[in-house]
Each structure stands twice: as C-alpha cells, then as structure tokens.
A and B are shown apart, each in its own frame.
Chain A
C-alpha cells in the first residue's frame, strides 16, 4: 500500500500492520521485561539436572519433556499482560469502535506477542538443549517445533487472557484455563524432539503440530475477539 502526501493508509491489513508494529516497538523499548521469560526458561531447565541427576545419558532421555514444560511455563508468564494494559488505557475500546474487524487486530497482537516472547525462547532452545545433552543434529527440529508450539500457545493464550480480563486473580486462572488446552501441543512437540534426538524421521508429529497451529490461529482470534467484547460491555 502506498501512502502519498501524508495520507494515513487505512484498511484491515494496514490497521493490523500498525498494531503489530506498535506492539513490537513497545516491547523493544523495555528489553528487560521482554527477556524475563527467557531467563525464567533458563532457570527452570537448570532445576531439573540439579534435582534429578547430572548424568548426561539420563538427561538425554527426559530432555524433550524438560524443554517443553519449561517453554510452556515461560510463555504462560508473558500471557497475562497481553491485553491488560490496553484494557486499562482504553486502547481496546478504540479497537472495537475503529470499525476494523476485531479478530484481525487480535491476530496481529498474537503474532506480535509471539515475535517478542516466542522467538526469544526459540533462540534460547539450542543453549538449553546443549546443556541437557541434546545432540546438535536435533537442534533444527527442536527450534522448528518450539516455534510452532509457542505460536499455537500464543493463540490459545490470547483467548485465555481475553476471557480473564475482567476477573480477579487472573494469572493463576489463566494457567488453569490454558494448560489443559495446551496438552496436545506438548504431546506432539515433545514427541518430535524425542524422535529427532533418536535420529528418526519427525515428519508425522511436526505435520500434526503444524495442522494444530493453523487450526488454532484460525479459530482463537474469533474467540478472543468475542471475549474482549464481553469484557468491555
């Protein structure tokens, strides 16, 4: 889209792109907050060798589980703030009255949230993997499925965060709502990493996880959008 002489581009995609850009810029202005989930991820995954055993052969067996549970919990941390600040300062109301489809705005927010919270986890995955004796040949698959899984989780989490907007003790409630729904992601993701470590073909679970991600991203923006509307009523 071309914006000549200071005219502001309008339209669904332009609005979504503006939301995406704004979210990413806001997140980069507070890098400390942005990297908190990654630090949490590193700390949680360090707990397991300390509590189980430092033997690499044993760690290799359970490393997919540790990686995934750690990533799941770390991305939950960032979810609660997904809509809250915008609820308080009225941005959400502006979304609703802007005439743009709310679900598309929500989708832009999900993608931005994944860019600033999911991608850092993906980038940290080889580091954590190496510390848990995951062979370097499995890094590619691990990063791919973690990327897909966190994207899927951002979608589910957006619905959860929107549903808990007007409620008390939202953070615990959010985990209670999102974690049961996230179990298929955990199953397919951990299984892919497991197969990659063993050097077996990972096509099956990776494709299933991709299908799940596509399905989640096509449906949850609508659920999140209607939940946002309900919380503004």
Chain B
C-alpha cells in the first residue's frame, strides 16, 4: 500500500536519522520563539490574578510541564507497542529517547507545584490528588528507566521495557482515578479547585503559546535524542560511516 510507505521508511535507521535531522531545527527554533513569547506574555503582559496576585504566573511553566509528562508517557507506550508488534527497532529507540524527557518534565511539574504550594497553601508539599498522581507517574518513569538499564542485552532491554510501558499505560488512568477518590475522602477542595472565573484572553493566550512551545521543545529533544540513540545503536553500520563522512566533506 502506497500510503504506508512513509511508515516503513521511518522504520529504517538511515531514513529516520535524516528525517529527524531535517525536522529538528524547525522544532527547535519554533519552540524558542513560542517559549520566549509565552514567557513575556505570561510574566509581563498578563495582569496579576485577583486572588493569587503574581504567584499564579508559575502556571506558565507548571501546566505545560504536567501536560508533557503525561503525553510523553503515552507516546512512549505507543512507540513501545509499535516496537513490540511490528518489531520496529526505531520505535524502541524512540521510546528509549522519550523516557528521560518525560521524567524530567514530571520532575519540573512537581518542583514548580511545590514552589507554587508554598505561597498558596503555606506548605512545600500538599497531598493534593494531582501532585500525588504526578509523583506516581515520576516513579513509573524511574522504574521504566531502571528496567532498561538493568538489561545488558539491548534487544531484551527494548522488549522488556516495552511490556512494562504498556502495563504502565493501562494502569495510569486507574492510578489517577484511585488517587482522586482517595483524596476526595481525605480533604476538601483546595485553592486550586476553588471556583474562579475563566481566564481572560491576555492570560490564556500566553498559556496556550507556552503549551505549543513546550510541545515543540519536546519534539526537538525527541529528534535530537533519537539521532543520538541511532548513532549509538548503529555505530558499526556501514551507512553511518558514509553518512558522517559525507557530512564532514
């Protein structure tokens, strides 16, 4: 089927290496533009919140990081599934490249959440449902990376961690809802859940731009890390030698 050739081509390391190299700068510069604009709009142009004053501005980093930590896990599980089912080595390489990215975004989300909690809740850590499920997500990432590094054989590491990623992604919604259920029994609504008027445009637009910027940044990092993974995995391949020599010439 002609429509699927791009998919098969993507499965070949040289092709994926070149594609990732071609797209990386676009994603990178796009991310830089969006993040600079979003930060300026969010930190300078947007008016302070009527209730949280300037402290709310951390949302411009916190929310996109939370979104990316989840989307990275989903993408990782999809890549792992593709790798397991179609035995596509590039998909495993992509999953391997995504894991540390997602883990760092989960960490950024937790750190900024903690910083935000200090002025809002008066404590560095609150057992809030969202923060707790984010923490468990970070643990899932750490387990995935630990399993990957515990295998010496690359193929076995790829395939075992792929099974783990799929088991994990089935569990993520269960963990999420059970934590919400647990939390709603233990404490009432917090500042975060209090009813507040929907965001005015001058607050919302920079936030959406930040979401876009973070997503582009994720793709840029993915492309770059994927290239590094391919370099590592294919270091003895003939095509890589010619590729690199051509590039040097």
Contacts and interface: CB of A to CB of B under 8 A. Distances in A.
Given A227-B160, A233-B156, A177 B175 contact: no
B161 to A, nearest CB: 8
B181 A187 contact: yes
Nearest to B148: A167
A74 interface: no
Interface string B161-190: 001101110110011001101100100000
A72 to B, nearest CB: 14
A187 B139 contact: no
A54 interface: no
Main secondary structure, interface of B, reads helix
Given A176-B143, A230-B156, A230-B160, A169 B167 contact: no
A173 B147 contact: yes
Contacts of B160: 163, 166-167, 227, 230-231
A184 interface: yes
A223 to B, nearest CB: 5
Contacts of B181: 187, 208
B140 interface: yes
B178 A183 contact: yes
B83 to A, nearest CB: 12
Interface core residue of B136, B140, B143, B168 (most chain A CB under 10 Å): B143
Interface in B142-168: 142-143, 146-147, 150-153, 155-156, 159-160, 163-164, 166-168
Contact of A169 (B150, B155, B170, B182): B150
Interface core residue of B151, B152, B185 (most chain A CB under 10 Å): B151
A176 B146 contact: yes
B146 A230 contact: no
Contact of B147 (A167, A181, A183): A167
A225 to B, nearest CB: 10
A180 B179 CA distance: 12
Given A223-B163, A230-B159, A181 B150 contact: no
In this complex, the interface size class of chain A, counting residues with CB under 8 Å from chain B, is: 20 to 34
A44 B182 CA distance: 25
B146 A173 contact: yes
Contacts of B139: 176, 179-180
Main secondary structure, interface of A, reads helix
A84 interface: no
Contact of B150 (A167, A187, A215, A230): A167
A2 interface: no
Given A187-B181, A187-B182, A164 B168 contact: no
Contacts of B179: 183, 187
A138 interface: no
Contact of A231 (B140, B150, B152, B156): B156
B111 to A, nearest CB: 19
Contact of B151 (A167, A176, A179, A215): A167
Interface core residue of B147, B164, B167 (most chain A CB under 10 Å): B167
Interface core residue of A163, A170, A187, A233 (most chain B CB under 10 Å): A163
Interface in A61-90: none
Contact of A166 (B136, B151, B168, B175): B151
A187 B180 CA distance: 10
A215 B155 CA distance: 29
Interface string A155-166: 000010001101
Contacts of A188: 178
B146 A166 contact: no
A168 B153 CA distance: 11
Given A167-B151, A180-B140, A183-B179, 10 more contacts: A163-B147, A167-B150, A173-B146, A177-B143, A177-B146, A181-B167, A183-B175, A191-B185, A230-B159, A233-B156
Nearest first, the 6 A-B pairs at minimum CB distance are A167-B150, A184-B178, A180-B139, A187-B182, A230-B159, A177-B143
Interface of B: 84, 136, 139-140, 142-143, 146-147, 150-153, 155-156, 159-160, 163-164, 166-168, 170-171, 174-175, 178-179, 181-182, 185
Interface of A: 159, 163-164, 166-170, 173, 176-177, 179-181, 183-184, 187-188, 191, 208, 212, 215, 219-220, 223, 226-227, 230-231, 233
